[in-house]
Structure 1
Amino acid sequence: MGGVTRTPTNLTQGSATKGGIGESTLRPDGTLKVTGEFAYSSDMWHEDMLWGYTLRSPHAHAEIRSIDTSAALAQAGVHAVLTYDDLPTEVKNYGLEIQDTPVLAHGRVRHHGEPVAIVAADHPETARRAAEKIRVDYAPLPVVHDEATATAEDAPLLHPGRDDHHAGHVPHPNVVHRQPIVRGDVEAARARADVIVSGEYEVGMQDQAFLGPESGLAVPAEDGGVDLYVATQWLHSDLRQIAPVLGLPEEKVRMTLSGVGGAFGGREDLSMQIHGCLLALRTGKPVKIVYNRFESFFGHVHRHPAKLWYEHGATRDGRITHMKCRIVLDGGAYASASPAVVGNASSLSVGPYVIDDVEIEAVALYTNNPPCGAMRGFGAVQACFAYESQMDKLAAELGMDAVELRRLNAMSQGTIMPTGQEVDSPAPVAELLRRVKALPLPPEKQWESGDTAGTSVDVRALPGGLSNTTHGEGVVRGVGYAVGIKNVGFSEGFDDYSTARVRLSVVGGEPVAMVHTAMAEVGQGGVTVHAQIARTELGVTHVTIHPADTRVGSAGSTSASRQTYVTGGAVKHTCEAVREKVLELGRAKLGTYHPAWATAELLLEGGKVVTDGGEVLAGIADVLEDEVVDIELEWRHRPTEAFDLRTGQGQGHVQYSFAAHRAVVEVDTELGLVKVIELACAQDVGKALNPQSVVGQIQGGTTQGLGLAVMEEIVVDTDGKVRNPSFTDYLIPTILDTPTIPVDVLELADPNAPYGLRGMGEAPTLSSTPAVVSAIRAATGLALRRVPVRPEHLTGT
């Protein structure tokens, strides 16, 4: 996937114990996953379990006149059929921020694939066939599918009587949330501009396309509660939404994380969790639900499709004078994370540039399209495609090099964001651009190789590949650049904290640490990093990671590039408290043996208590003997605040991350086929706690951005119907589509973050998309204002 270079930080580590931070330690789940032995949630089994299945709406918007479940209930092997009327409590809705999503549809359905009824049977095929026998009388209603139909005077209201805290600040009830940002004097700045460019851009609906579909096992308990084993991103958020619907106190809904086959935001919202628990409690038997791929496309939220209008002005020497933009995000039928996506899109809409005078508006709509919510880089991805397209357009109008225009206007530490917030940690935007541009370009015409008979062609390296559409005729190379800015962590006043429990004991004469958090390991490598932190802070070799569950305090969501920062921070904080307790015990038991106990800075390293000069005072096992140190603590980063709903001003984000890309593509201009040859990335990660994992995250995010650029889109007709809910028709990059991805990792420590680290999993997803499109523009001369770019966009057919 390409090479990697690293610029080391000057931040010191807390311990020299092998396997600590800064090392590329092996993942504990790595071998199991590549050999197929890892247990995912879909692999769970209980000897007397039933299978659950969901009946979904074939309509995007329709009144439900009646539901007849009698034929389904009469089928042999069926144990339960539940509809909205069978829900056990008055709480029948759920939601991440706004509780507007019904557990099962009531009165009407609002999107294609909405759950209407659930079935439990002794075999998955029995459950599916029983669901097909449920008779639902639908009366189709007008479909709201875009801004015009959503905000028309006679538009049907998708959620009449809204009473959430955003409702008073939107222009129409079918607008979920609106966030303006106004700073400076745009009209005065516009008058100073020598050049003004504007453009309209569009981003299609992208799916997270994780490999493991939604699944879980609900087991009823003797105390009247339920144990749920599930693949999710946020155990405690699920718990908060599930328990009220079941009518149970939270302590009786015990949740354990099962093996997660990827997430990327698609598991932040509930899918089968409540349904599985309802069926288990109704039948008194364990119930397993596993979506097939078709169901999975309907069972989780997607990336918001967006329409964006931008205007930039600049002086003749390339200084940007002002920016105006309007961003319209399609949130689909339910709110999900749309308010937060709007906040990100608006506050990051200028990109990593210094622009003092701005007028920004971002809105999210309610429509009858599939619900949209969290997906890697949410809100910032859509904005980045638009503002980077504008940078290319502005550079062309000025006759400037596009990279130099970006570097000239690049933000740095101390820059004031349009929200009024100062960037108070390194922001090496110009340096990242310099680095990625300085990387050597791949050789031209790599498909040619000389031989004794002349020149042969390897069609695998050409657009079209083994389809043998060309031998190089009509193939043109293009190079493009882009850079992006992404916030890290939860923002806008959200109480972003995590909890860690650390237990240090002696096992077999050796000190052993156990780390217990509720962090969802979804493939990002948190279980590896937590062990590295514990080794570093406690100076022990043996570290066990306890399975994540709700028996420990919340770790928040595995999203927003926050887990290493926040849960890693909680593990570090708790380990420090454990370390101090061990030293306190040592002073009480052994302090009389050596005066250094009272006078020196004592450390734990390699299972020993040592002075700051390296003198060994005792073994940790000798200090502990039969005692156990067991501490659970919460840890929070610096507080943020909500953006003002009129001006957009506020200290909304805790940290920013930056990545820059250079794309090299080859385009068959006759057939409109694209081959991405290389997608180089330079990114500042603050501190690479596990360098190999960092590079993997950057390459993975880069590949996801490539997918959005040239192939990935959920196609939804104006009637709200999804047309391609399968991997046959929804295309994602395979290894044959993935280019070489050289990575240049910069480490400039953030003084406010644990170890100086910077959340980095999302940033490469932003700039990779516009870099690929910029390269295609360079090859073809076409404007290309929409992603994904399709062959017909390049050939005019």
Structure 2
Amino acid sequence: MANTRTTPSGTPTNVTQKHTRGGIGESTLRPDGTLKVTGEFAYSSDMWHEDMLWGQTLRSTVAHAEIVSIDVSEALAMPGVYSVLTYDDLPAEMKNYGLEIQDTPVLANGRVRHHGEPVALVAADHPETARRAAAKIKIDYRELPLVTDEASALAADAPLVHEGRDDHHAGHVPHPNIVHRQPIIRGNVEEARKRADVIVEGEYTFGMQDQAFLGPESGLAVPGEDGGVDLYVATQWLHSDLKQIAPVLGLPEEKVRMTLSGVGGAFGGREDISMQIHACLLALATNKPVKIVYNRFESFFGHVHRHPAKLHYEHGATKDGKLTHMKCRIVLDGGAYASASPAVVGNASSLSVGPYVLDDVDIEAIALYTNNPPCGAMRGFGAVQACFAYEAQMDKLAAKLGMDPVEFRQLNAMEMGTVMPTGQVVDSPAPVAELLRRVKARPLPPERQWESAGEGADVRALPGGLSNTTHGEGVVRGVGYAVGIKNVGFSEGFDDYSTARVRLEVINGEPVAMVHTAMAEVGQGGVTVHAQIARTELGVTQVTIHPADTQVGSAGSTSASRQTYMTGGAVKNTCEHVREALLEMGRRKNGSYHPAWAHAELLLEGGKVVTDGGEVLADIADILEDEAIDLELEFRHRPTVPFDLKTGQGDGHVQYTFAAHRAVVEVDTELGLVKVVELATAQDVGKALNMLSVVGQIQGGTTQGLGVAVMEEIIVDPKTAKVRNPSFTDYLIPTILDTPTIPVDVLELADPNAPYGLRGLGEAPTLSSTPAVLAAIRQATGLELNKTPIRPEALTGTL
């Protein structure tokens, strides 16, 4: 059957889809799936080394203070302690690191800027000894004034979180406590406002969300005989870690060898350095292997979180329902260090309009430096906060106009050819109206099911399960809709590429492919997809996935919904070159005996070379004999450009992806409890390379959006900037008992610019599930509800 392959230039060429068992389009099972559900999978925290020491981090107990003195003598005197390190013991001139801005000290240098900042390190022969030794380190703090919100950050006499900034964003921000600012101006909002028959405004507050991954930060550093170090770690981007680790160790990159170990989830929380540098420092200082494993409490301080946000929106529309203009201001709290805040600002601003047609916009997004916990990447990356606000605005407009909220959205929905507020033309399918139609057309679950199910019915079998609501008279039904837009891939001129090495050889008489990339498998299923691509492109059955490490070129981060597009694209690209090399080898060996070898397009199927008519020309194993084809190639998507710092114009994104949700909730208005019965979703994935993984990703992202809607928030005390709930006892996340029915409707409208026509899909469902749930609760209660998460007191009027 026909398929479309995209060449590097973006020109479609017709090829024939290979039929190989376990190839593209099949729901092949994950090789690590059974091990994970049975508890046999080896995570990074399970690693062990002979004569291994244990590392422990001492963290600040205050949010902003000068370090007057540090006394480590008692800790060093404890039996079993091998090393204690502070800032003054760091070996290299470079003592800071960071994803984009190197503003984060490896250990606090005379000052701490947030609660839980690393101050000292201990290595000991037992984890309990290391903990007790860290507790004996005496630190004298002199507390400093706090910066905790926009008012305190931008006041005329505001303390500077980072004095003497010299990063590349410092020159275009109006205040040193602003990490980055991105305006987007298009059209004329003041003139467009005159055409509006209705105008609605809203102030929205989005809470700080934790990634809540299963496996806390952990890794093992082993000193090498060459003076280098081998690091086995759970991360999202091996090569980014490497570029930050090597300079502060004072080592060349080739002497810091990194291997990915088992990752227990990530969702953006592993993009930043956590224990990597600390373990390496202790290993080099003691000349012994050092393992660091955070407990759950420390994990809340060991990684960044989702930016909390304040968002002010104004929309106008004509009486027939057409949007006239939008004006918004988005303030993201980046916390004490920059992390990914500049890129999050870029996403929040450029996607702040949502999947709608609007020619007149005035947008400003900023991220602040404060003394709150650092915030950075999390699934949805700036677009989540914006979607929460603009979808609430769509409901307000529809209500004021007396229109159906879905029909109002469809009337203003973008499509292929729409010009984004940044001036970029959407050049692939954008089925926003169709996604909304599909979720609305789905039959609703019956109301008050506990009554219709009959006496003795098991409520666990009903949609919504055992989530926290009663079955009393005060339970009312609500239905809400939302749709969102998310970019795919690194944006704004970033050199986004991925590398794949593919080796084709004969083992025991059978052709076998080996795929080697540095892609971090964090649960997204890349290890399955890479094997499917190799089977499809090379026509072999046996594919080995080499462990990810830095002995191959960078695969970029497992984030931005980019890995299937980028590293999958790299595997596909390299396999195509391996196939051409194999066919050329076959032509040299067999071409004079069979005219079919002269065909420009020969196929690889089931370990054989065949013509498009199915005639077998040769066995792949016979062509290779004792030879092997081994190639390593890079793959890049089409270029992007930075957004203009004054107007926000520019083709800043690679690809867009869309998802829509319909939420059905039951609200106990007397107790303020919410039961989400169903979260139906529809999403365009371009091409489903593995439908089982596709559905799993959509349902997982939907559930994370549900969490921030009704329960998830890191509480930071505004007076002390200290985290009040760093545990899963007090920071609540959805369990299987809270998870509703999540029916998934998958569209496959190919993007002609992407490998196999696919779209990155993992983040989009996280956007629209949150506002859909909020819309349903509003519809049930009549309350405005402009803050996440919704707590019982907000529903019962006891705030």
Flag whether TM exceeds 0.5 (same fold). Answer: yes
Aligned counterparts, 1:506-525, within 5 A: 506-525=506-525
CA deviations over 1:281-309 (Å, ceiling 9, x no partner)? 00000000000000000000000000000
Q: TM-score, normalised by structure 2?
A: 0.97
1:34 to 2:17 alignment: no
Specify which of 290, 296, 299 is matched with residue 296 of structure 1.
Answer: 299
Name the structure 1 match of 2:399: 396
1:746-785 equivalences in 2 (<5 Å): 746-785=747-786
How far, CA to CA, are the matches of 2:174 and 2:102 in structure 1? Answer: 21
Q: CA deviation at 1:35?
A: 1.2
> Aligned equivalents of 2:748 and 2:782: distance in 1?
37
Aligned mates of 1:636, 1:464 — CA distance in 2: 43
Structure 1 residue 14, shift from structure 2 partner: 3.0
Q: How many Å separate the matches in 2 of 1:9 and 1:772?
A: 38
Q: Taking structure 1 as reference, are residues 204 and 450 closer, same or farther at Cα in structure 2, changes over 3 Å only?
A: closer
Task: Name the CA shift for 1:605/1:490 in 2 (closer, same or farther; >3 Å).
Answer: same
**1:90 matched to 2:93:** yes
Matched, 1:373 2:373: no
2:256 aligned to which of 239, 253, 258: 253
Partner of 1:154, secondary structure, is coil
Where do 1:389-788 residues align within 5 Å? 389-449=392-452, 470-718=470-718, 719-788=720-789
Equivalent-residue separation in structure 2 for 1:621 and 1:380 (angstroms) = 49
1:9-408 residue pairs with structure 2 within 5 A?
14-408=17-411
Q: Which digits, 9 at most, give the CA deviation of each residue in 1:469-504, with x for residues without a partner?
A: 743210000000000000000000000000000000
CA deviations 1:712-734 (Å, max 9, x no partner) are: 00000111100000000000000
**Residue in 2 that maps onto 1:4:** none
Distance 1:467 1:240, change over 3 A: closer
Distance 1:483 1:67 in 2: 52
Distance 1:40 1:468 in 2: 33
The change in CA–CA distance for 1:712 and 1:278 in structure 2 (over 3 A counts) is same
Call closer, same or farther: CA 1:468–1:292 in 2, change over 3 Å.
closer
Amino acid at match of 2:196: A
For the residues of structure 1 that align with 2:522 and 2:231, how far apart are their CA atoms?
Answer: 17
- Offset, 1:437: 0.5
Residue identity over aligned pairs, in percent, reads: 85
Q: 1:143 to 1:494 in 2, by over 3 A?
A: same
Contact 1:463 1:675 in 2 (8 A): no
Q: What is the alpha-carbon distance in structure 1 between the residues aligned to residue 717 and residue 464 of structure 2? A: 28
**Deviations for 1:449-470, whole angstroms, at most 9, x for unmatched residues?**
465xxx5676668999879974
Q: Give me the whole-angstrom Cα distance separating, in 2, the residues matched to 1:76 and 1:439.
A: 67
Task: Report Cα offsets for 1:507-537 as digits up to 9, x if no partner.
Answer: 0100000000000000000000000000000
Mark the CA change 1:461 to 1:395 in structure 2 (over 3 Å): closer, same or farther: farther
Paired with 1:366 and 1:738, the residues of 2 have a C-alpha distance of 35
Contact conserved, 1:348 with 1:486, CA < 8 A, in 2?
Answer: yes
Q: Give the aligned residue type for 1:292.
A: N
Deviation of 1:601 after TM superposition, in Å, equals 2.0
**8 Å contact kept, 2:463–2:677:** no
Q: Secondary structure at the match of 2:212?
A: coil
Q: Secondary structure at the match of 1:327?
A: strand
SS in structure 2 of the partner of residue 528 of structure 1: helix
* Partner Cα distance (2:464, 2:684) in 1: 35
Asked whether the equivalents of residues 463 and 667 of structure 1 are also in contact (C-alpha less than 8 Å), the reply is no
Equivalent pair of 2:463/2:740 in contact (CA under 8 Å): no
TM-score by length of 1: 0.97
1:385–1:767 contact (8 Å) kept in structure 2: yes
Q: Which amino acid aligns with 2:425?
A: E
| Separation in structure 2 between the aligned mates of residue 743 and residue 707 of structure 1, nearest angstrom | 18
* TM-fit CA distance, 1:648: 0.1
Which residue type is aligned with residue 779 of structure 1? A
Residue type of the alignment partner of 2:281: L
Amino acid at match of 1:792: E
**Residues 464, 672 of structure 1: alpha-carbon distance in 2 compared, 3 angstrom cutoff:** farther
Matched to 1:774, the amino acid is A
- Name the SS for the 2:306 alignment partner: coil
Structure 1: how far apart are the matches of 2:309 and 2:235? 26
2:141 aligned partner, one-letter code:
Y
**1:648-685 alpha-carbon deviations (Å, 9 max, x no partner):** 00000000000000000000000100000000000000
- Counterpart-to-counterpart distance in 1, 2:694 and 2:464: 32
Moved more, 20-29 or 595-604: 595-604
Deviations 1:404-458 (A, max 9, x none): 000000000000000000000000000000011011111111112465xxx5676
Are 1:448 and 1:456, in contact at CA under 8 Å, matched by a contact in 2? no
Provide closer, same or farther for how the CA distance between residues 281 and 630 of structure 1 changes in structure 2, counting only shifts above 3 A.
Answer: same
Q: In structure 2, do the counterparts of structure 1 residues 215 and 349 end up closer, same or farther at CA, with 3 Å as the change threshold?
A: same
Q: Report the counterpart of residue 5 of structure 1 in structure 2.
A: none
Q: Which moved more, 1:601-610 or 1:547-556?
A: 601-610
- Whichever residue aligns with residue 507 of structure 2, its letter is V
Counterpart contact for 1:566–1:636, Cα < 8 Å: yes
- Opposite residue 768 of structure 1, the aligned amino acid is S
The AA in structure 1 aligned to 2:543 is V
Superimposed CA distance per residue, residues 591-646 of structure 1 (whole angstroms, 9 cap, x where no aligned partner)? 11101112352111110011122111000000000000000000000000000000
Q: Secondary structure at the match of 1:448?
A: helix
Q: Tell me, in whole angstroms, the C-alpha distance in 2 between the residues paired with 1:675 and 1:596.
A: 64
**Residue aligned with 1:789, SS:** coil
Contact persistence 2:220–2:289 (CA under 8 A): yes
Whole-angstrom CA distance in 1 between matches of 2:764 and 2:467: 34
Q: What is the letter of the counterpart of residue 271 of structure 2?
A: E
Q: Which residue of 2 aligns with 1:796?
A: 797
Question: Is contact 1:262-1:522 (8 Å) kept?
Answer: yes
SS of residue paired to 2:493: coil
Q: Hey, what does 2:8 align to over in structure 1?
A: none
SS in 2 for 1:501: strand
Q: 1:636 to 1:671 in 2, by over 3 A?
A: same
**1:3 counterpart residue number:** none
Structure 2 residues without counterparts, runs of 5 or longer = 6-14
**1:57–1:463 distance in 2 versus 1, CA, 3 Å:** farther
Query: Shift in Å at residue 34 of structure 1?
Result: 1.0
Residues 367/461 of structure 1: CA separation in 2 closer, same or farther (3 Å cut): farther
Deviation at 1:322, TM superposition (A): 0.2
Partner of 2:375: helix, strand, or coil? coil
Which residue identity lines up with residue 788 of structure 2 in the other structure?
V
Q: What SS does the corresponding residue of 2:34 show, helix, strand or coil?
A: helix
Q: 1:441 to 1:318 in 2, by over 3 A?
A: same
**Matched residues in 2 for 1:284 and 1:202: separation?**
49
Letter in 1 for 2:105: P
